[in-house]
Structure 1
Amino acid sequence: MANGNTAPATQQQRRHFNLVRNVATCLLALFVLVGLAVLIAWLVIRPKRFVYTLENGSVQNFNLTDNHLNATFDFVLKAYNPNSRVSLYYDYMETTVTYEAQTVAFNTIDPFFQPHRNVSRVEAKLVALNLALSPSTFKDLRIEKSSGEIEVDVHYKSRIRLKVGIWKSNHRILRIVCPSVIVHLSWYRHFDKIPCEIEP
């Protein structure tokens, strides 16, 4: 009796083992195929990192009065797409100027499309209108103003989609920061180009 019950149980275990092995084999084959597809796509597309540079920056009507700031900032961002097959949709873009971690000016930029192997220049005008400053920020800005230049950070935030052939990716957020931007209060002073960083 004991031996008679053992045989069906052994067969059931063997069938269960074969089922698990077959499922594992199918999953492994699927992972390998997906990996090969991704590798082939990468070898064909050869994606390269987008490059961003702040080409120009200026400020006009800069005025500090009673802990308040009035100013108009103008910046030109050069966006370089070195890819031969990847294009980029910028569905929206925000530009922010910060000083000592305080936002002093903000604006939005119209959506645009950047083809492959393309250089686009993105112009932004940001206005600080009677902006209230903390006493310490006001003091530091006044000191920098007396030197004829101020140092700010310029941030860009965009919702983008990649395009390869007819395929388009899902939306993702692109953040670009151009740190330690020296803006001269005198229009005739030369602006030094700033390489910008893509934040993870």
Structure 2
Amino acid sequence: MQQDPNPRPATGYPYPYPYPNQQPPASANGYPPNAYPYQNYHAPHPDPRALLIRRLFIALMVSILFFGLILFIFLLVVRPQLPTVYITSLSVSDFNVSNNQLTGNWDLRLQFLNPNSKMSLYYDTVLCAVYYGDDSLSKTRLQPFDQGTKDQTPINATLSVSGTYVEGKLADSIGKERAEKGSVEFDLRMVSVVTFRYGVYRRRRYVRVYCDDVAVGVPGSSSSGKMVGSGKRCNSY
């Protein structure tokens, strides 16, 4: 059998390499192309400014956590407590509600107790008010005072009102309560800025004191009366 002098490759079967019997052409540096695909890659240098900001942020967070831990341990050891307030007596004189006008004097005696064994207290701008329900009847300002650790301080105050207009609903409610119970329940509220002191440590905060439902015997036939029962502890917030 005679062989074809010009053999051809079978169709559908390409050469296994695009350059038969030879290597791919070399690049300018003498190496085949793509032999070192990352030879010209350089890692980017970190931004010094971003690095500085990151370090400052980390230092700030560490400082905050450190001082927060110190403050937590300090408060855990000192354990600041709100003052305890008792109303020991409350009397009313010249009390009258008629023709939508209110007149009366409230003589009040309080007992302030500092329950802290390591912190002294300073009371500034003490505002005191007597309420009937949600209506304020009279207000006054108490004198600022200091308290040492575990101290008890008695405070006297007088709240007065003369011929102040009140709504008919309030006047009717007071008159009905006097007729049915022979007494009237008043609410006493106080607000003060109290400074907690321990060495160089100072902390100011608002303290609210509520003495609710303090019954005073004032029958309809009388214009004066005293607190029903013994002293009563108020709620501090």
Match of 1:103? 136
Inter-partner Cα distance in structure 2 for 1:64 and 1:77: 26
The size of the alignment, in residue pairs, is 194
Structure with the largest fraction of helix: 1
Contact 1:177–1:196, Cα closer than 8 Å, also in 2 = yes
Distance change >3 Å, CA 5–CA 55, structure 1 → 2: farther
Contact 1:184–1:191, Cα closer than 8 Å, also in 2 = no
Contact 1:57–1:191, Cα closer than 8 Å, also in 2 = no
Instruction: Give the one of 46, 67, 76 matched to 1:43.
Output: 76
TM-score by length of 2: 0.72
Inter-partner Cα distance in structure 1 for 2:78 and 2:227: 42
State the SS of the aligned residue for 2:91: strand
Match of 1:83? 116
Inter-partner Cα distance in structure 2 for 1:114 and 1:76: 17
Q: Deviations over 1:134-164 (max 9, x none)?
A: 0110111111222321011111111222211
Match of 1:167? 201
State the SS of the aligned residue for 1:180: strand
Shift of 1:190: 4.0
Match of 2:152? 119
Inter-partner Cα distance in structure 1 for 2:70 and 2:163: 56
Max radius of gyration: which structure? 2
Contact 2:128–2:189, Cα closer than 8 Å, also in 1 = yes
Shift of 1:34: 0.5
Q: Gaps spanning 5+ residues in structure 1: where? A: none
Structure with the largest fraction of strand: 1
- Answer with 127-136 or 34-43: which moved more: 34-43
Contact 1:183–1:191, Cα closer than 8 Å, also in 2 = no
Contact 2:91–2:227, Cα closer than 8 Å, also in 1 = no
Inter-partner Cα distance in structure 2 for 1:194 and 1:139: 27
2:177 is the alignment partner of 1:144: yes
Instruction: Give the one of 82, 92, 98 matched to 1:65.
Output: 98
Distance change >3 Å, CA 189–CA 95, structure 1 → 2: closer
Same amino acid, percent of matched pairs? 25
Amino acid at match of 2:109: V
Distance change >3 Å, CA 49–CA 106, structure 1 → 2: closer
Inter-partner Cα distance in structure 2 for 1:191 and 1:61: 21
Shift of 1:49: 3.2
Distance change >3 Å, CA 50–CA 189, structure 1 → 2: closer
Contact 1:153–1:178, Cα closer than 8 Å, also in 2 = yes
Inter-partner Cα distance in structure 2 for 1:157 and 1:63: 27
Inter-partner Cα distance in structure 2 for 1:71 and 1:197: 25
State the SS of the aligned residue for 1:48: coil
